[in-house]
Chain A
Amino acid sequence: MALTTAPGRTGRTGSARPHANRRRVGRDRHAEGLAGYVFLSPWLIGLMGVTAIPMLLSLWLSFTNYDILTPLSEVQWVGLANYERMFTADPSYWHAVRVTLTFALVAVPLKLAAALGVALLLNKAWRGVGLFRALFYLPSLLGGSVALAIVWVNMFNRDGAFNSFLALFGIEGLPWVSDPDWALQTLMVLAIWQFGAPMVIFLAGLKQVPTELYEAASVDGASRWSQFWHVTLPMLSPVIFFNLVLETINGFQGFTAAFVLSNGTGGPVDSTLMYTLKLYISGFTDLEMGYASAMAWVFLIAIGLITAIFFSTGRFWVHYSDGEK
């Protein structure tokens, strides 16, 4: 490729000739930047075609009565009607918001706690630790899969494996997935069980904590607990932050399991009507794609706001330190 040599060469030219005028250098840099974009172009085209343009289109659609079947050229502009309906006239929308918030507020912290706890256990050097790491990581590899959700539903049915297990101890189980009081909790347990991905990240973070710190702490007579509290947690806080942001976003977007469990309805009695499921039903079952687009945009903004809050509070508790600074 002819282009591949160009940026490198201009870069070298700049540094080899310190007396070249500033304008020239600026131009070189500019050219370099442009070349960079050329290299990025396959990705940029993908971003534009697959993400950005459809997103902007959906922004426009959110102000229309688009119903999928009507050609785009015939859709009508309805202003803020979709947003108005969402906030004032659709009780099931607010129900979906509640379900999703409950799910995220419970499942995300518990999942992170489980991930950190197991990571601490698996951070020791003992025989077979690799096997256990793999075993704990496995469920999250199967994460969003439909197959896993189907297995889960069958396991927690009234006559599923879980209740048979309970029966061994003489406990009569509940119909976990078809009882509106328990269906969402069943989904939460499924989400928490898939703590493998954050666990691996925690493990990597734990490996980065310098052992001198623990040595110094123990010389000072710190207990294991205060070592964890004053050394591990602060040193791990960037990783915790990272996992928290990622898992929160994931938690809000949970769809597959709820879809499979409820046959795409959000039932029983809307107990598993996650935001994304409500959005899907509006768009594809009820053919109200304009309304669904409006929901998607509110969702995007809400997740953006939550992430921004995390970032703005981060400086109070996230400890970035590599010892030198």
Chain B
Amino acid sequence: MHPATSPTAGTPAEPHHRTLAPRRRFLRGLVAAAVAVPLMFGAAACGDDDAGADGQVKLSVFWWGGEARAKLTEDALALYTKKHPNVTFEKTWQANQGYFDKLATLTAGGNPPDLFQIDDNYLSEYAGRSTVLDLKSYQDSGKLDVSKFPKSLLEYGVVDGKLAGVASGENTQGLVYNKTLLTSNGLAEPTTGQSWEEHIAWAEQVARKTKIPGTQDPSADYKAFWVWLRQQGKDLYNGKDLGFTAEDVTKWFELWKGARDRGATPTPDVIHEGNASDVTKQLVVTGKAATSWVWVNQMPDLKKNTKDELGVVAYPGDPSAQWARASMYWSVFKSSKHRDTAVDVINFLANDPEAAALLGTDRGLPSNMDLRAKVSESVTDPAMKQSIQVESELAQKFGQSPQVPIKGHSKVKSELIKAAENVQYKRASPAQAAEQFITACKSAIA
């Protein structure tokens, strides 16, 4: 208990004022409580905000991921502390699910982490509300060195002219297929550059021969839709607006309706299972389809969940529709008291050779091209090796990055799943679902 309350609360009862005493005591108690309660809360709320007189800085860092990532990240941060003994870290990490709830709640509670991981779903949401620090001035002053980054990867962190996030790794769309299944049945492997029609015809052939649907129907998958749109000369977003029309969506849904009718894809409920972002539920590893639509850097993770050999190529169509996507970013909170230190840590994680060696390709290919080459050479995991090789090849063909998805993007993603599943379960025609999808998107991004 706070000392302020004890003198009043402890006053012994005065027998002569029996009737008045409780009331007076009550009032005194009330006053004491009124004084004590804010003091208690106040004491709890006060943290050591600024670096102490001795220059000690405690930087809070927050990221999502598994234990492997936690280990790598903690090692890299420990290395930073070793080089800068005045900086220590308060590390928090958790699974992807619920991460953004927590981040939003921490922000709302006025207790955001100094440095945090974010992805392109939410970068615009946070940047648009001025919750993240614009790193442009650090880039200009050279405190943040991004000179070795591919230009398009760097640009994919710019929102409304502000450098809102620094890519902590690069990935791109990848079509992962079950190599064992194909070779044992004497079927051709898919190749980069096949058209969508060719892909579907190939998948149909696989289904005929192996009784396993050749491809997961990706009509609910925004990243497949996005690549396809870019090949049609459209985009997911155009400024603050949608970059596509109901006709585009209808065409997309019809493409996959055709594939389903030909038996190239699984049944809707199986597709629904595969639509979950969980790596372990991807149909290529659960054996319910011969291919899954994922990110290239998920290949090694997928491999851990199956005995079969896997291969990876670009999504169908012209691969220049794909781009160097930041698999995730590091961002700094605008209100952080330690922003300079936080930026320096980002700089360290991105450009220090030792740190890059520790972090490996866990967050995607290292953004720094020099370090990427070094890290790639040292990789031993064959699945990892293959994904690096494919991504490096694709990097030669990458087109320009699209703009970072705008505010409301997460809603657009979930609305696409709903619309596509409505078509798959035959609850709506492609045109009806497309119409509803457009309406829902417009209100989501408004």
Residues in chain A within 8 A of chain B (CB atoms): 2-3, 5-7, 9-10, 13, 24, 27-28, 30-32, 34-35, 37-38, 41, 45, 67-71, 89-90, 92, 158, 175, 178-180, 263-265, 267-270, 281, 284-287, 289
Contact = CB atoms under 8 A, between A and B. Distances in A.
Contact of B129 (A34, A70, A281): A70
Contact of A28 (B10, B19, B29, B425): B19
Q: DSSP majority for the B interface?
A: helix
Q: Which of A10, A13, A30, A69 has the most CB of B within 10 A?
A: A69
A285 B25 CA distance: 49
A90 B444 CA distance: 11
A275 to B, nearest CB: 17
B107 interface: yes
Interface residues of B, number: 47
Contact of B104 (A27, A34, A45, A68): A68
B37 A45 contact: yes
Contact of B22 (A3, A67, A92): A3
Contacts, number: 111
20 contacts: A3-B13, A6-B13, A6-B21, A6-B22, A10-B18, A10-B19, A34-B23, A38-B29, A38-B30, A45-B33, A45-B37, A69-B107, A90-B443, A158-B273, A178-B272, A180-B427, A268-B421, A268-B425, A270-B418, A284-B104
Interface string B18-38: 111111011001100100010
Interface of B: 10-13, 18-23, 25-26, 29-30, 33, 37, 97, 100-101, 104-105, 107-108, 110, 125-126, 129, 131, 269-270, 272-273, 276, 278, 408, 410-411, 414, 417-418, 421-422, 425, 427, 440, 443-444
A71 B417 CA distance: 32
Given A9-B18, A268-B272, A286-B411, A31 B23 contact: yes
A285 B19 contact: no
Contact of B18 (A2, A13, A281): A13
Contact of A31 (B22, B104, B125): B22
Nearest to B24: A31
A82 B36 CA distance: 39
A10 to B, nearest CB: 6
Contact of B270 (A68, A89, A158, A286): A158
Nearest to A268: B272
A287 B418 contact: no
Contacts of B417: 265, 267
Nearest to A270: B418
B272 to A, nearest CB: 4
B116 to A, nearest CB: 13
Nearest to B428: A269
Given A24-B19, A38-B26, A2 B12 contact: yes
Nearest to A285: B410
Given A180-B421, A180-B427, A268-B272, 15 more contacts: A3-B22, A5-B13, A28-B19, A34-B26, A38-B25, A38-B30, A69-B104, A69-B107, A69-B108, A69-B129, A175-B269, A175-B270, A268-B269, A268-B421, A269-B427
B107 A286 contact: no
Contacts of B443: 89-90
A68 B108 contact: yes
Nearest to A37: B26
Contact of A179 (B23, B269, B411, B422): B269
B444 A31 contact: no
Contact of A265 (B104, B108, B414): B414
Nearest to A158: B269
A191 B376 CA distance: 52
Given A6-B22, A69-B107, A178 B269 contact: yes
B22 A34 contact: yes
Nearest to A35: B22
A28 B425 CA distance: 72
Contacts of A27: 19
A6 B23 CA distance: 10
Contacts of B410: 285-286
| Max chain A Cβ within 10 angstroms of own Cβ: one of B272, B276, B440 | B272
Given A180-B427, A286-B410, A3 B25 contact: yes
B100 A284 contact: yes
Contacts of B408: 286
A120 to B, nearest CB: 39
Contact of B421 (A24, A38, A269): A269
Given A68-B104, A178-B272, A286-B444, A267 B418 contact: yes
B418 A269 contact: yes
A267 B417 CA distance: 9
A30 B12 CA distance: 21
B180 to A, nearest CB: 21
Contacts of B131: 69
A158 B417 CA distance: 20
Contacts of A158: 269-270, 273
Contacts of A284: 100-101, 104
Contacts of A269: 418, 421-422, 425, 427
A88 to B, nearest CB: 12
A287 B125 contact: yes
Contacts of B11: 2
A264 B97 contact: yes
